[in-house]
Structure 1
Amino acid sequence: MILVRPATPDDAPELVRLRGLMFAAMAAAGGRPPADETDGPAPWRAVAEGIIRERLASDRLTMPTFVVDDPAHPGRLASCAVGAVEQRLPGPGHPDGLFGFVFNICTDPDSRRKGYGRACTEALIDWFDAHRVTRIDLHATKDGQQLYRDLGFHEHSVALSRARTLTS
């Protein structure tokens, strides 16, 4: 049996480590190195750790996070699923106006193919359901698409988006 638990603020460094692994996997799938990981520790890591600690300590309702501990390495996480909840105006089909986004699912390479990622993702989906979140969006790599389809995700019309690169 896989034991999934809600993340705590003390999990922040490990959640950042897994997030870095996720970015590396996404970059490798695109055939390029991670943009900001080539010259040492990336500044985003400290910022991410601070945000994770703060949210998990005080505001679990906007960043639900579920983890599986690595049974072979105490203090290390094997997998995680991190989401976000956005309050929008209610409308047809969305009576509370709650929308979810899954922005970080990652399993340590040494722990893959054991069901940990699925278990964390199912816990996150169950949390969204219990909190009346009526739509959940995510972006998936090709490797992850089948898992998400098996869990009920499908293509949805995508709004246009604009990205801006920040400079120091």
Structure 2
Amino acid sequence: MTQTASRRAFLRGQFSQRRVMRPLGALAPEAFARACTGCMDCAEACPEGIIITDSDNLPVVDLRLGACTFCGDCLNACETGALDADTPWDWKATVTDDCLSLNGVSCRTCEDQCDEQALRFRLMTGGRAQPIVDPELCRGCGACAAACPAGAVTFTHQDPRPDLQHDGVNPC
């Protein structure tokens, strides 16, 4: 796992920081922090109500509250340039060991919610099932995370450069 420290985090004594899920079209972390004023126009424009503020008073997406429909209303509301339509949404779902199916409880809620059919389950011994996320099909919308009763779905930022992957970001 690669973790980076922003200037803001470094000055607060946080020498490594996980990448947080910013709204659709968010610039790279340092550029976003410079451009975003914290006005929260993006949150007010979000029809799904999934954009909240973080400890830095900047917008983050909390997919536990619901799924992103990629409508672009947050992009259109941003007047600072912190959100750019040309920036891809490179988040993919991953499932943790807290998954009910991995622990012998029959649950396929995440699979039922995935319109892209990116989630499948492989049967295992002992009444368990292994959740498998197809990264080619997963759009990172969060429908699976919002529905998961165990909170076992996290997201990984898929940087186009493989050496800069960020693992296990919670939906918030």
The TM-score with structure 1 as length reference comes to 0.25
| RCO comparison, higher one (Cα < 8 Å, 6+) | 2
The TM-score with structure 2 as length reference comes to 0.25
The structure in which a higher percent of residues are helix is: 1
